[in-house]
Amino acid sequence: MNSEKSQTPINNPKSVVRLPIIIGITLAAGVLLGSTFFSGGKKLSDVAKGFNKFREVLSLVENNYVDSVNTEELVDYSISKMLEKLDPHTAYFNAEEATAARSQLESGFDGIGVEFNIYNDTVYVVTPLSGGPSETAGIQSGDRIISVNKENLSGPGVTNAQVYKLLRGKRGTKVDLAIERVGLKEKMNFAVVRDRIPTFSVDASYMVDQEIGYIKVSRFSESTFEEFKSALKTLKTQGLKNLILDLRGNPGGYMERATSMADEFIAGDKLLVYTEGKDSRFDRKTRSHVDGLFEQGPLIVLVDEGSASASEILAGALQDHDRALVVGRRSYGKGLVQMPIKLNDGSELRLTISRYYTPSGRSIQKPYELGKGDDYSQDLSHRYESGELFNVDSIKFDKSKVYKTDGGRIVYGGGGITPDIFVPKDTVMNSKYLFELYSKNIIREYALRYANNNQKKLEKQTFDEFVKTFDVSDAMIADMVKDASKSGIKPNPTELNLSKPIITSQTKAIIGRYVWGRKQKSGLNNEVFQVLNPTDNVFQQAVQMFNQAAQLEKGKFSSLNIPRKAD
């Protein structure tokens, strides 16, 4: 989640309680500094001609157009439209967008430290972050933020972006909040001083049983590798022998964090990834070189259609070196490297400068046509419609792009990382009624209210006892249905019964996270995943695959049932 941490309705059943909300912007290349970038290349006279023409037109519009115009907006629009003629990942961000995008990959931000949720046009505090300035000031879960620095923050049209803008700011600066609290008639006023708020990218790290460990990584930010190493060390002290590394839904980030993680699994001096571009300055090779924490032991990596960029670098390196069994669905297919170039006004150009390749030579970039970004953006919809997310036989391999792993297994380039073991997307329990509950945030709001009202009673038991003994009752479901009706959602007993397992598991997960997990300073949301993973078909399949992962590690490929099929 992006914080000041926002809680929003999520349409993916398995991720509805995943707290980090990530802007889907990836820096596949990490931070490559291009101080000499503009030297060389095409003749400067050609560029100058184009620049002079644009400046002439802009000047004519500014001085002679019949109505007043916003020149800055025209320039931003012109740049964005120009870049649409290039590849799908070259992009331009204005100053505000660039700041928001960079913050997703930084190790923290300056703010007041709250998780919030917008519900019925009202901003609710889900929880003040432990040790943060809001908790110190006395802000409580369930508080409604009415105004910030006397600017109204309730009513139709309130957005996450508006909340971020008001709550974030330079550390040491003061924020005046007007709060409404349940049980009090009068508004409360708080003065909160902004401070540095850490962000986390390792969402979960826990032992599934006495030997199997699980680590969930949501993105590759500044702090990801250190978070990962810390999590891995802790699991090893708890008896770790088999590891599940979950990269599903991970949109990428800094390449160096992904290759550093790969180095913890891959022994010796081996190629991890290489990049090639038009300009040789952007060609580079990254190899393993450290004694890693988990170079031996069965390893399973989970990927899906939301795993992109740096996630694919990591999964591809582990697959090519036969180090991990890859389980799930074909990954996104982003193999283009962007260089972030900060412009004078604070805006930013993300310019594609090379392609990356896995150790076997595979380009993971899926096909695209220059200037046809709309078609490219529909790829995941096409996968759904073609049945690829549900049937392994619907995955199409390009037989002209055949490569081999270290052990001689066939892998294919030209469009993402194809898993060794395919697991279909589970949509059996989805329903229109469930999505309506998501759209109005009914499940989360009910669970938080229940946790608030029953916190003292729930805290008398341990979380492990809660997992084993607590059930979401029919009476609780009935109360949730009443909440939905009040929000305009018509009851539908048939669809409710179909989706009931999802509704109950998510409700339980949110309650567990709120009561036992919110005081953690590590950023881990283990409680959520410990409740949801046993109902996750990909996770369930992975737990059963460690015999095959062990055979793979030993180089005994003939015993593996890994389908490969070419067009």
As annotated, the residues of the chain forming the CATH 3.90.226.10 domain(s) are 202-335+355-427+546-559
Strand order in the sheet with 212-217: 202-207, 212-217, 242-246, 299-303, 325-328, 421-422
Task: Note the CATH number of domain 108-198.
Answer: 2.30.42.10
Q: Is 323 helix (H, G, I), strand (E, B) or coil?
A: coil
Q: How far apart are CA 400 and CA 363, in angstroms?
A: 12
Q: Is 458 helix (H, G, I), strand (E, B) or coil?
A: helix
Residues carrying CATH 2.30.42.10, the chain: 108-198
∠ at Cα 534 (439, 204), nearest 5°? 75
- Its CATH class, for the domain covering 202-335+355-427+546-559, is alpha beta
The single residue of 14, 334, 425, 440 carrying the catalytic annotation is 334
> Is 486 designated active site?
no
Per-residue pLDDT tens, the chain, 567 aa: give them: 345 654 433 333 343 333 222 222 233 322 232 333 444 455 667 788 888 999 999 999 999 999 999 999 999 999 989 998 999 889 898 888 888 777 767 777 889 988 787 777 888 887 787 668 887 888 887 789 999 999 998 878 788 778 888 998 999 999 999 999 877 888 989 989 999 887 889 999 999 999 999 999 999 999 999 999 999 999 999 999 999 999 999 989 899 999 999 999 999 999 999 999 888 888 999 999 999 999 999 999 999 999 999 999 999 999 999 999 999 999 999 999 888 899 999 999 999 999 999 999 999 999 888 877 777 878 888 888 889 999 988 887 777 889 999 999 999 888 899 999 999 999 999 999 999 998 788 998 899 899 989 999 999 999 999 999 999 999 999 999 999 999 999 999 999 999 999 999 999 999 999 899 876 667 788 999 999 999 999 999 999 999 999 999 988 876 565 544 333
| 1 vs 109: CA distance, rounded Å | 13
Selecting among 134, 205, 309, 331, the annotated active-site residue is 309
**Spatial contact of 142 and 181, defined as CB atoms under 8 Å apart:** yes
Catalytic-residue membership of 360: no
- The Cα–Cα gap between 355 and 332 comes to 15
Is residue 514 exposed (0-12), middle (13-18) or buried (19+ Cβ within 10 Å)?
Answer: buried
Any catalytic annotation for residue 482? Answer: no
Listing DSSP states for 53-71 in one string gives HHHHHHHHHHHH-SS---H
User: Which of 87, 263, 304, 320 does the annotation list as catalytic?
Assistant: 320
* Cα–Cα dist 92/317, whole Å: 30
**SS3 letters for 240-268?**
CCEEEEECCCCCCECHHHHHHHHHCCCCC
The pTM (predicted TM-score) of the whole model is: 0.83
